[in-house]
Amino acid sequence: MKGKGLAFGAVSVVNAIATGNGAALGVRLKTEAEVELVEDSKEIDIKVRGSNCEEDKTLARYVVKEVLAHLGYSNYGAKVTTKSEIPIGKGLKSSSVASNAIVLATVSSLRKELDDLTTVNLGVDASIKADVTITGAFDDACASYFGGLVVTDNEKRIIERREVLADDYKVVIYVPPEKVYTKDVDKIKLQNLKSLFKEAYLLAMRGRYWDAMVLNGLLCSTALGFSTEPTMSALSAGAIGAGLSGTGPAVTAVCPSERVDDVISIWSDLPGEIISTKISNEKARMVLD
């Protein structure tokens, strides 16, 4: 029995580590997963295309186990393959997106269906158990799964606000060479700025998403020791919102179509790569052959 799942990427609007409240935005970078179940087996074999990171394989195993246990198929093993357009270890939600895709692929392989929030929460539970997240990243998982802009209470796992945004906005992402894994970040550095992160969250709740993204990005960059120059230069080039995504090192800029080239140009001399994409309002889904 085989199944496939597809989920889209996300970037930070408000980091939830300091307050438990977060916001994230769906973007059109996809991750695909295929799961083939093996009856009367306990082995879960993982192939993560484009990554040799054991952390990613550990997460995939936890996701499959979580779904099989939830649906009562714990006597099954699995072969899991994932491929992704999302750079790993850059703050671009690769773990949350992979979790969504693998949950959907596993459910599909069993020819079952789950409601949306159960699907998301199975991936969040697996991410916590695999130790790839501090808060569970419910905001990131929801932005990936539902698309658009979501504001969440990560501790209660409640979506407090969701909005479908105009998809004519483009998203430009600066991806430095280094990697940063969320679990290794000193969360105290972020929690020391809790009151200011709360302000960013309140801005998002009032619909001032891009102001929230800028404030959050400057706070995260300052607390974690990243330069604010990429954020400020993107804003000067016409971005309506910009800031560090997750715990870095990637920086995201949201801009009108006519300013994309300006943002890319101003970042062109920085080390690393630049990704140009757009907002995603599309929902994650099972893929039928």
Q: Is the pLDDT of residue 51 over 80?
A: no
Contact 77, 37 (CB under 8 A): yes
- 208 phi/psi in degrees, rounded to 5: -90, 65
Same domain, 138 and 55: yes
The burial class, CB within 10 Å (0-12 / 13-18 / 19+), for 270 is middle
Same domain, 48 and 142: yes
Q: Would you say the C-alpha torsion 262, 268, 271, 274 has a positive or negative sign?
A: positive
Same domain, 257 and 128: no
At 56 the pLDDT is 75
284 within some domain: no
What pTM was computed for the model? 0.95
At 54 the pLDDT is 61
At 1 the pLDDT is 87
Where in the sequence is the domain holding 183, given as residue range(s)? 170-278
Same domain, 101 and 25: yes
HSE-up of 214 (CA within 13 Å, CB side)? 15
Local confidence band at 29 (pLDDT 50, 70, 90 cut-offs): very high
Same domain, 211 and 141: no
**pLDDT tens digits along 60-81:** 999 999 999 999 998 899 999 9
At 34 the pLDDT is 97
**pLDDT tens digits along 214-251:** 999 999 999 999 999 999 999 999 999 999 999 999 99
HSE-up of 146 (CA within 13 Å, CB side)? 26
Neighbours of 203 (CB within 10 A): 22
- The token duo for 216 is 């959050």
Contact 32, 64 (CB under 8 A): no
Structural domain tally of the chain?
2
Which of 136, 164, 192 lies at the terminal end of a domain, its last residue?
Answer: 164
Tokens 């269906």 belong to residue: 113
CATH of the domain at 258: 3.30.70.890
289 within some domain: no
**Which amino acid is present at 179?**
K
